[in-house]
């Protein structure tokens, strides 16, 4: 059992945040859910299993200084809201696209974690026969789920993201990911078994 510290949703928070408030949520290895996913992607890359990267944080650059010729310094910029998901790449020729989010709630996942743009993006990826999903980490329960984008899009359509998605719905429509050592979040096992094996979500 590996607990990741509560450190996603960086968009509106500083890159290096205080961890004190989330101390109870730390694993022995002190790795955040995002770090665990990044490490999993590195593992997949090194083993030539897949090429999946996290996209850079979208930043709106307003002012750049040139104190030296060699290196431009950005002196005014702002975090932008992402219009797509955070992770994308290729696995056996298939396009992979996902978002990773976490909550401290125990019975439901707050839909405010997802923006309308992201839902629309995932919907369009599905139209193009891409493989899209979300990885949801329930920090307090220390449980990780892979929920196919179709189930997320459908739930969002009910009331446009105004209420929480019950854990029961996630369990019914998604797949629990057993945390492991290498990789820490072996989500491609789920994809291989349930998406490429003829499941209706692909």
Binding site per annotation, positions for Mg(2+): 84, 86, 99, 118
Residues contributing to the site for a second copy (CB under 8 A): 12-15, 45, 48, 50-51, 53, 55-59, 61, 64, 66, 71-80, 83-84, 88-97, 121, 124-125, 127-130
CA distance linking residue 202 with residue 199, whole number of Å: 6
CB of 70 to a second copy, least distance (A): 9
CB of 137 to a second copy, least distance (A): 24
**C-beta of 87 vs 109, nearer to a second copy:** 87
**What are the start-end ranges of the E strands in the chain?**
51-54, 59-65, 73-79, 87-91, 94-103, 108-109, 131-138, 143-148, 165-166, 175-177
Facing residues of 132 across strands?
97
Closest by CA to 6, choosing from 200, 137, 112, is 137
**C-beta of 2 vs 49, nearer to a second copy:** 49
**C-beta of 68 vs 172, nearer to a second copy:** 68
CB of 64 to a second copy, least distance (A): 5
Closest by CA to 152, choosing from 121, 198, 181, is 121
**C-beta of 90 vs 158, nearer to a second copy:** 90
């Amino acid at each position: 059992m590996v607990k990741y510290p509560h450190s996603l949703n960086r968009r509106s928070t500083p890159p290096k945040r205080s961890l004190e408030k989330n101390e109870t949520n730390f694993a022995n290895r002190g790795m955040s859910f995002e770090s665990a996913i990044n490490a999993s992607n590195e593992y997949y890359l090194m083993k030539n299993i897949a090429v999946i990267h996290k996209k850079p944080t979208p930043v709106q650059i307003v002012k750049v200084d040139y104190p030296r010729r060699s290196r431009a310094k950005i002196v005014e910029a702002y975090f932008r809201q992402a219009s797509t998901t955070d992770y994308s790449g290729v696995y056996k020729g298939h396009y992979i696209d996902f978002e990773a989010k976490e909550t401290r709630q125990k019975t439901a996942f707050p839909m405010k974690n997802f923006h309308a743009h992201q839902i629309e993006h995932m919907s369009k990826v599905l139209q193009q026969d891409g493989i899209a999903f979300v990885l949801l980490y329930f920090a307090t329960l220390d449980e990780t789920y892979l929920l196919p984008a179709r189930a997320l899009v459908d739930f969002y359509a009910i009331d446009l993201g105004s209420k929480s998605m019950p854990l029961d719905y996630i369990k019914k429509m998604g797949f629990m990911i057993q945390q492991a050592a290498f990789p820490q979040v072996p989500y491609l096992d789920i994809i291989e078994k349930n998406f490429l094996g003829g499941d209706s979500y692909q």
